[in-house]
Amino acid sequence: MNDYAALVTETPEEHPFATFVRILGKGKRGARNLTREEAREAMGMLLDEKVEDTQLGAFLMLLRHKEESPEELAGFTEAVRERLNAPDMQVDIDWPTYAGKKRHLPWYLLAAKCLAQNGVRILLHGGGAHTAGRLYTEQLLDLLKIPLCRNWSAVKNSLEQDHLAFIPLADWAPQLQRMIDLRNTLGLRSPIHSLARILNPLQARCGLQSIFHPGYQSV
């Protein structure tokens, strides 16, 4: 007895997210950037886990190949902020730490501690040691006595007591952390690293951004 696959006699309904993959991947002449609203809707579906894993991988790598636009990042940011439910608290500087240091030591952590000791309230956040051969903030928290906070309540207490707090991305945006963690499955970093840096989850008065690639200055 042979077990053959069933014949496909009816065209399956297209997945709603397929539209966004098609926009990005239609080819050199047919592909285009997402509009801000399209980007907001697409990221909303990713955050709400309404896409297949294959679609997630394709979407992230297509964005990586063409490089994300300012409008796309703005739409992604709106979608994330709509779902954050972060509390109101006073923060002076939002300080994202996602890249890890390869050739230099992370002196910026000492700068953050110095500012905090002088009354500047600083929120640090990062996505873990996702790339080999780099030194990450998470690996130095204990050594430098930077408070590790696993929820917003702990962040508030640390900001009041020490003017400094670090919260992992996984504890306030786990879906984004999952996307970052795909780096070693897909072989490349995705635009989620850039997105996480600009989220400013507690709406701090100032945000610090380091730019290595000249093409990201406009973003």
pLDDT in tens, 102-134: 788 889 999 999 999 999 999 999 998 887 778
| Residue 199 forms part of a structural domain | yes
Distance of CA 63 to the CA centre of its chain: 14
Identify the pLDDT of residue 89. Answer: 96
Per the structure, the count of domains in the chain is: 2
Q: CA 78, CA 195: separation in Å to the nearest integer?
A: 11
| Residue 8 forms part of a structural domain | no
User: Containing domain of residue 40, as a range?
Assistant: 18-82
Query: What residue ranges of the chain have pLDDT lower than 70?
Result: 1, 211-219
| Residue 30 forms part of a structural domain | yes
Shared-domain flag, residues 136 and 182 = yes
Which of 87, 168, 162 lies closest to 121 in space, CA to CA? 162
| Residue 5 forms part of a structural domain | no
Residue with tokens 């409008």: 71
Q: CA 78, CA 72: separation in Å to the nearest integer?
A: 10
| Residue 71 forms part of a structural domain | yes
Shared-domain flag, residues 76 and 118 = no
* Residue 28, C-beta contacts closer than 8 angstroms, at least 6 positions apart: none
Shared-domain flag, residues 71 and 156 = no
Identify the pLDDT of residue 11. Answer: 92
Shared-domain flag, residues 69 and 137 = no
Identify the pLDDT of residue 218. Answer: 54
Last residue of a domain, one of 82, 117, 135: 82
Mapped onto helix, strand or coil, the DSSP state of residue 166 is strand
